[in-house]
Amino acid sequence: MESQELLGALNWRYATKKFDPNRKLDLKTLNTLLEATRLSASSMGLQPYKFIHVKDVGVRESLKEHSFNQTQITDASDMIVFAALNSISDEHIEQYARTEGELRNRTEEQIERKIKSTKAYVDRMNADEQFIWNSKQAYISMGTLLSTAALLNVDACPMEGINPKEYDRILQLEALNLRSLAVVTLGFRSSEDAYSDQSKFRFPKGQIIKTI
Ligand SMILES: Cc1cc2nc3c(=O)[nH]c(=O)nc-3n(C[C@H](O)[C@H](O)[C@H](O)COP(=O)(O)O)c2cc1C
């Protein structure tokens, strides 16, 4: 891909305010977007999050009420809720290290060592710190999804304007040791979205990128 094409796609994308409710993503594109999100990087590879694809129309209506009634929640083709683990359990670390270790033909000793060092690293953080750390990893995957969507000419809106407590209740996330963080809605912009032709505002390079 040429630089110009890449930057063109990133300039084309914007936080879509009004989606065309009649246009739906095809399954292949949707699966590609979910797979790109899954392939995102995370610290130590622990993936301390879940991506919740909410398909149920009724549930989306309920969530909209707890999203400041932002219409993207119900008008977009699809919505993904990003949720982070409240804390990282020993089971999570063991499952990660065992599955990864087997895939990569590690010895039992290597796997045990990895479990021990990962637990030691995670245990340095208290529960609040673990949730913050997990959330940071989840946000990286949101970024991956947004950039991938742009490259596939899919419109998206990252959305933090939600009531996470209500989301957790409706999606029953507490039982899964998860807390919701934000949403990405996906689909196609409406021709009536006044935001689509607004100039993109970013601070100039010299202000954002520091060279030392
Ligand atoms: C974490 C995050 C949360 C956001 N929450 C909302 C939101 O709830 N509703 C909304 O319309 N836009 C939301 N935005 C969109 C931003 O306002 C938008 O990305 C920013 O103004 C830059 O504009 P652009 O993305 O269109 O280039 C959010 C963006 C991010 C990254």
Best residue among 157, 185, 186 to mutate for probing ligand 1's pocket (most ligand atoms within 8 Å of CB) is 157
Residue having the nearest C-alpha atom to atom 30 of ligand 1: 158
Judge whether 34 and 51 are in contact, CB under 8 Å. yes
For the segment 158-184, the average pLDDT, to the nearest whole number, is 98
What pLDDT score was predicted for residue 174?
A: 96
For the segment 30-38, the average pLDDT, to the nearest whole number, is 98
Q: Which pLDDT band, with edges at 50, 70 and 90, does 6 fall under?
A: very high
Q: In what helix (H) or strand (E) does residue 62 lie, and over which residues does it extend? A: helix 57-65
Apex 158 CA angle, 27 and 162, nearest 5: 110
Task: Express each pLDDT in 45-88 by its tens digit.
Answer: 999 999 999 999 999 999 999 999 999 999 999 999 999 999 99
Superfamily of domain 3-86+126-208: NADH Oxidase (3.40.109.10)
Burial letters 8-46, b for 16+ CB under 10 A, else e: ebeeebbebbbbbeeeebeeebbebbbebbeebeeebeb
Task: Express each pLDDT in 110-145 by its tens digit.
Answer: 999 999 999 999 999 999 999 999 999 999 999 999
Judge whether 180 and 83 are in contact, CB under 8 Å. yes
CA dist 70 and 81 (Å) reads 15
Q: Which pLDDT band, with edges at 50, 70 and 90, does 17 fall under?
A: very high
Percent of the chain whose predicted confidence (pLDDT) is above 90: 100
Percent of the chain whose predicted confidence (pLDDT) is above 70: 100
Average pLDDT score, the chain: 97
Sequence-distant (≥ 6) Cβ neighbours of residue 13 within 8 angstroms: 146, 149, 150, 155, 156
Beta bridge mates, 79: 185
**Residue 182: count of CB within 10 angstroms of its CB:** 20
Calculate how far, in angstroms, residue 158's C-alpha sits from the geometric centre of ligand 1: 5
Residue having the nearest C-alpha atom to atom 6 of ligand 1: 159
CA dist 180 and 12 (Å) reads 28
Best residue among 80, 160, 195, 202 to mutate for probing ligand 1's pocket (most ligand atoms within 8 Å of CB) is 160
For the segment 11-16, the average pLDDT, to the nearest whole number, is 98
